[in-house]
Amino acid sequence: MREKYSISTKNMLVILSLSIILVLSGSATLAGPQPAEAILEKAPTRDEYPDSDAVIMLDKGTVEVGSKAGKTLTVTRQIKVFNKEGRQKFGEVEIPYLAPSGKPKLNWVRTITPEGKVIKPDKDDMRDITPARLQQYPMYSDLKKKVISMPGLTNGAVIEFSYTLKPEQFFLKGDFRSGWNFRYYKQPVMRSHFEVSFPSEMDVRWTDFDADLPPTVEEENAQKTFIWEREDLPKIIEEPGMPPISRISKRVLVTSIESWEYYSKEFWSLAKNRAKPDKAIRGKVKELTQGLKGKEEKVRALYNYVATKIRYVAIELGRGRIQPHKASEVFHNKYGDCKDKVALLISMLKVAGIKAHPVLILSGLNEKTMFEEPPPGRGLNHAIVAVEMEGGLKFLDPTCDVCPYEYLPDSDRSKKALAIIPRKDEVGKIVEMDEFNPEKTRVKVDQEVEINEEGDLNTRIEISHSGYYSYYLKSFLESYSRVRQERIYRGILSQQESGAQLKNFSHTDLEKIDERLTVELSYEKDGFADTLGDSLIFQTPPTLRIPLDRNYDKFASLPVDEREYPLQMIPATLIDEVTISFPREREVVTPDGIDIETEWMSYSSSYEFTGEGQMTVTRKLVKEKSLLPLEGYPEFKDLVNKMRKDQQSNIQIKG
């Protein structure tokens, strides 16, 4: 039976990510739940938040660190839900935890109804599960979730919870680090509170990542406490192309890790013996490099093998979340995660007489750890390889099984990383990754268009890809059968040119990592051009290129005065060259070409007659930056509007 009781006792909800579990750590003396009457009295009305599904009344994290850096984390939250969407978003409480650390202690969990009744979930409302996202990928982890279905939830009810975790440390055992994100939710937050208490003699640093959020510092009974408090944080309204919430919200980090060099040495102590080659690895290296003379040829061959023949499977159990598996195990199993593939590639390069080193990096577009900040900074979530070449370090990411040797994924670019390069007195070395280069990511469309006297269309298209769009589209297409791939392009054609019939679809071998992706298509449409008297009027037919031009319409859809966040883009060069053949001895009227250049993007077009009955339309879009700041949005919006006007301009063939 579910227990109902009035005004006093326990409560809960939660939605906490793994990143917070790994970064936060702590506990404190827990006073117990507030009286339900007091919570309802301070709860806001729907009129105060008319555009929100719920409001976070309290978001509180308390960390207590012991003399040996042992720690506990206590989280307390109060959430008032206003409507069905609010009940859906917050009605299932999810508490992530790591199984070796034990299940979270539920201090209290309760629903407070608008009438003041308190309803506590019973055992049937609680279950421990493996997160769904782990079941969708080749990933084995000791991450679990305690899920609680909140009972008695109606509009106007308050969900309250408190739980305590004691995270187990597998890395940097004598130290702690704890972080807090003040905007974990998109809903408005009335009060966000974070505090960390630790022995006064412990050397502890904090950073707010340039957010200007200094803590209040209290000291009593040989304990020091850092306290942060923020109030009345508005709702985050999603915008097309905006960075993730973790990037735009303010956060703080408290850490006792003394330096990045110490961090490097501790990682190296776990990783240094994992890249030893065995007889099988030596034999494979000999086979792969047979007849290859140049160093780069050998590096390419070994990289291609690890990238394409060792499938990605993450086994993040206990120490395996940090420590690579032995290269011999990875080679034998033919699977591993990023750090495992790094260990194997370094091992194989060692056999070939080539020095290489692991590199720890924060992967993700525009995600950066600043090494001026105390470790672990914003985090290091990925491992790649630095190979010693004549011209310096060559960075390779063998986790990407569709990235050619020449191309470092965009998620690894334009940032600093921590290379583990043992020297006489040091292990860690801060290195600069390859910068973004829009010329490295290109999509080139060559389209031949034939328009006959009746205005019927026949077009053949060849689309060549390099860089990001090559490996992105390869990965996308590999997920589908050949029939499904063709249906996807039929769908794109149907949306862009209703009534057109796809006649041909083919592409280069998706599994050849060194081969750039080329897609070939053709389609037809009767009555493509409109008639006006003796004239034919039409726009250049769709190229079916991915990325689709309509994406830019979406990014530029908000009025200038409503946009609040930067816009993320992939630096790239997109070129469409369309050759149009039409009946001879006909006069043709074309638009004027345009040329627009800004700091962040440029666009140009031209319309040239290349022979009797033939003309060429060339359009070029260059995205220079990966992040468009808010001050650049007006220029971006203006460029997109002019670009779309140009692309939709009519060409007239007079009779």
Q: What is the pLDDT of residues 633-642, one digit of tens each?
A: 999 999 999 9
> E strands within 512-655?
518-525, 530-532, 535-538, 567-568, 572-581, 587-589, 595-597, 601-611, 614-623, 627-628, 651-654
Percent of the chain with pLDDT over 70: 93
Mean pLDDT of all residues in 338-361: 98
Backbone angles phi, psi at 109, to 5 degrees: -145, 125
For residues 253-286, one letter each, b for 16 or more C-beta atoms within 10 angstroms of the residue's C-beta and e for the rest, the string is: bbbbbeebeebbebbbeebeebbebeeebeebbe
Distance separating alpha carbons of residues 436 and 571, to the nearest angstrom? 7
Distance separating alpha carbons of residues 261 and 70, to the nearest angstrom? 22
Mean pLDDT of all residues in 197-226: 95
Please provide the CATH number assigned to the domain covering 4-257.
Answer: 2.60.40.3140
**C-beta of residue 161 within 8 angstroms of C-beta of residue 105:** no
The domain spans of the chain are: 4-257, 263-432, 442-654
Q: What is the pLDDT of residues 493-549, one digit of tens each?
A: 999 999 999 999 999 999 999 999 999 999 999 999 999 988 999 999 999 999 887
- Six-digit token string for 503: 């006649």
Closest alpha carbon to 367 in 418, 412, 430? 412
Look at strands 572-581 and 614-623 and give their pairing.
antiparallel
CA atoms 33, 39, 44, 45: torsion sign: positive
Judge if the upstream peptide bond of residue 138 is cis by omega within 30 degrees of 0: no
CA atoms 115, 119, 125, 129: torsion sign: positive
**Fold of the 442-654 domain:** Jelly Rolls (2.60.120)
Q: What is the pLDDT of residues 245-284, one digit of tens each?
A: 888 889 999 999 999 999 999 999 999 999 999 999 999 9
Distance separating alpha carbons of residues 330 and 353, to the nearest angstrom? 20
**C-beta of residue 376 within 8 angstroms of C-beta of residue 177:** yes
- Six-digit token string for 357: 């080193």
Residue 476: pLDDT band with limits 50, 70, 90: very high
**C-beta of residue 318 within 8 angstroms of C-beta of residue 100:** yes
Q: For residue 27, what pLDDT is reported?
A: 37
Q: What is the largest CA-CA distance in the chain?
A: 96
Mean pLDDT of all residues in 195-208: 95
Q: For residue 246, what pLDDT is reported?
A: 82
The amino acid at 104: P
Judge if the upstream peptide bond of residue 547 is cis by omega within 30 degrees of 0: yes
| Mean pLDDT, rounded, of the chain | 91
Distance separating alpha carbons of residues 463 and 77, to the nearest angstrom? 52
**C-beta of residue 117 within 8 angstroms of C-beta of residue 6:** yes
Which CATH class name applies to 263-432? Answer: alpha beta
CA distances from 438 to 7, 164, 308, 393, 401 (A): 62, 48, 26, 22, 22
Distance separating alpha carbons of residues 649 and 537, to the nearest angstrom? 10
Model pTM score: 0.89
Q: For residue 245, what pLDDT is reported?
A: 87
Q: What is the pLDDT of residues 71-102, one digit of tens each?
A: 899 999 999 999 999 999 999 999 988 887 78
| Lowest-pLDDT range of 78-92, 318-332, 486-500, 600-614 | 318-332
Distance separating alpha carbons of residues 603 and 646, to the nearest angstrom? 10
Distance separating alpha carbons of residues 416 and 371, to the nearest angstrom? 8
Distance separating alpha carbons of residues 178 and 194, to the nearest angstrom? 10
The amino acid at 288: L
Q: Which helix (H) or strand (E) holds 56?
A: strand 54-65
Residue 317: pLDDT band with limits 50, 70, 90: low
Q: What is the pLDDT of residues 157-180, one digit of tens each?
A: 999 999 999 876 657 777 888 999
Q: What is the pLDDT of residues 518-533, one digit of tens each?
A: 999 999 999 999 999 8
